[in-house]
A and B are shown apart, each in its own frame.
Chain A
Amino acid sequence: MNLFLDAWRWLATGSNWTGDGGAATRLVEHLLVSGLVVGIAAIIAVPLGVLVGHTGRGRTAVVLAASAARAVPTLGLLTLVALATGIGLTGPVVALVVLAVPSLLAGAYAGVESVDRVTIDAARAVGMTEAQVVRRVELPLAAPLLVGGLRSATLQVVATSTLAAYTADVGLGRLLFAGLKAREYDVMLASALLVVALALVLEGLLALLQRLVTPRTAAPAEHARPARNAHPSSTVAEKSPTERTS
């Protein structure tokens, strides 16, 4: 309990936030690294996932590769890459991209694959080009699952980006490692809390985005009617043939 109070006191101290290596800088760094990683992963995974979902080809290969990538231990991969590339951001970025790709890939291809085949067949039959089928039918309908993939990838990456500090002087992980070395557990806990807060905020924002991209499939309620007329579906007028010919 004392530790939490200490951590809180550390967070509440203005001087801990300012300056080189202050919490504010670390937070921004953490956000930038996470953004970079998710961005690179999205550039790789989303087009690939959409392609697989659209053509239905290579599905097995992609599923296998994605599950294999999920099983890769991030810290191990980071160490391996860092041994080859040396101290710097390359190691962590590569390892984190591998972490983020499976979720994004799964979101993209599952989203596109979930679109009703009849709808796609009809879109093609009325004369949409393949690109138009993707852009106007598959992507809008896949959007919620696609953003779902982005959401879980972001959550994983933000939580794991602390590892960037393993080989680079970057991110909230820096405070964590420094606290560990100096046995300043209040600093460690404070930085962990910052990671949690950042993850929660991003999670909230992406949940909002997911709601925004969910396509409307129902018209907004027409202006309010008195309760006894409240059967909008029964007001639908399907004219009978006799009505029309008269």
Chain B
Amino acid sequence: MIEFRSVRKEYADGTVAVGDLSLVVPERSTTVLLGSSGCGKTTLLRMVNRMVDPTSGTVLVDGRDVKEQDRVRLRRSIGYVLQAGGLMPHRSVLDNVATVPRLEGATRRAAHARAAELLEVVGLDPALGRRYPGQLSGGQQQRVGVARALGADPDVLLMDEPFGAVDPIVRADLQAELRRLQAELGKTVLFVTHDVDEALRLGDEVVVLRSGGVVAQQGTPAELVAAPADDFVADFLGLRSRQRQLSVREQDGRRLVVDADGRPVGVLEGSLEGSLEGSLEGSLEGSLEGSLEGSLEGEVPGA
């Protein structure tokens, strides 16, 4: 569990990045900090592993004040994934993933064996371990970044817009992969993003921040969408945009979900099966039988 107790971060020039914020990040679940750039979400994240020290207030990880812990030890015990990967270009992928175990004194052999396992955990071919980060695609580099963060088997995983720099298809792939991983590993994940869809897709809890590091609303994605606390949250989530105002329309026996412009965004569950059954009874019955008979007859003599 991570707890922020009225933390505040003010820089020397008087800018307030985070203003008196209190927040509890529940254990073994994914909490997303959602906000536009400059809302202090990254600052908050970096307070957890003491990359940033708050001006006032305390941050607790598993009930212990991080300020009383050695920075280096603390950072090694917390996984950290950042947007651009941040891999060391002069070390092989395997060496990169083995970084923390090596720092902790594991032998090269043991650290490499563990690293190869981790590559598989994040869905990479261990054979990629011999390559260098520059030889991988953006999506692969992000996976390596996740593998490195898992190196010391941390309970807490900090992710700073980890999928921000990859194209939408790879991003969706990585998001799905993260959900699978999280279901398997059950880490306490603190995830920073400005992408509303990503937040709703990944978060068990979503914390919407307004500028100056103030919590606008915290809740499950469903709670936020069902009952936005105020206009800011509703606008930020885009609930009033035409893309999020959905209605159902019948089309060819299916119930389509369409947005305010009539653009389809999906099919209502259940209606697909219904229509398939309907069509099976009707047109398919005849044509399937017909074609089956036809093709079977044709194939038998040849066999």
Contacts and interface: CB of A to CB of B under 8 A. Distances in A.
B4 interface: no
Contacts of A127: 72-77, 100, 103
A218 B134 contact: yes
A141 B151 CA distance: 23
A121 B139 contact: no
A229 interface: no
The listed residue with most B CB atoms (<10 A of its CB), out of A128, A129, A219, is: A219
A208 to B, nearest CB: 19
B266 interface: no
The listed residue with most A CB atoms (<10 A of its CB), out of B76, B123, B176, is: B123
Given A217-B134, A219-B130, A241-B180, A125 B89 contact: no
Contact of A238 (B87, B88, B139): B139
Contacts of B72: 127-129
Interface residues of B, number: 45
B123 A241 contact: yes
B88 A137 contact: yes
A132 B104 CA distance: 12
B128 A119 contact: no
Contact of B49 (A116, A125, A141, A233): A125
B173 A132 contact: no
A239 B136 CA distance: 14
Contact of B90 (A121, A125, A141, A238): A141
A118 B165 CA distance: 14
A140 B87 CA distance: 14
Given A126-B75, A128-B72, A216-B90, A244 B84 contact: no
A229 B90 CA distance: 27
A217 B132 contact: yes
A238 B140 contact: yes
Contacts of A233: 135
Contacts of B73: 127
Contacts of A84: none
A217 B84 contact: no
Nearest to A245: B180
B123 A239 contact: yes
B23 interface: no
Given A218-B135, A219-B132, A126 B90 contact: no
Nearest to B170: A238
B132 A118 contact: no
The listed residue with most B CB atoms (<10 A of its CB), out of A121, A122, A245, is: A122
B177 interface: yes
A241 B73 CA distance: 34
A125 B177 contact: no
Nearest to A115: B89
Contacts of A219: 92, 130-132, 135
Contacts of B46: 125
Contacts of B74: 127
B125 A217 contact: no
B128 A236 contact: yes
A124 B46 CA distance: 12
Given A127-B76, A128-B103, A121 B180 contact: no
26 contacts: A119-B86, A119-B88, A125-B80, A125-B82, A126-B76, A126-B100, A126-B103, A126-B148, A127-B73, A127-B74, A217-B89, A217-B133, A218-B134, A219-B131, A236-B128, A236-B136, A237-B124, A238-B124, A238-B139, A239-B123, A239-B124, A240-B123, A241-B173, A241-B176, A241-B177, A241-B180
Given A236-B137, A244-B180, 8 more contacts: A126-B75, A136-B88, A140-B90, A217-B133, A218-B135, A219-B130, A237-B124, A238-B125
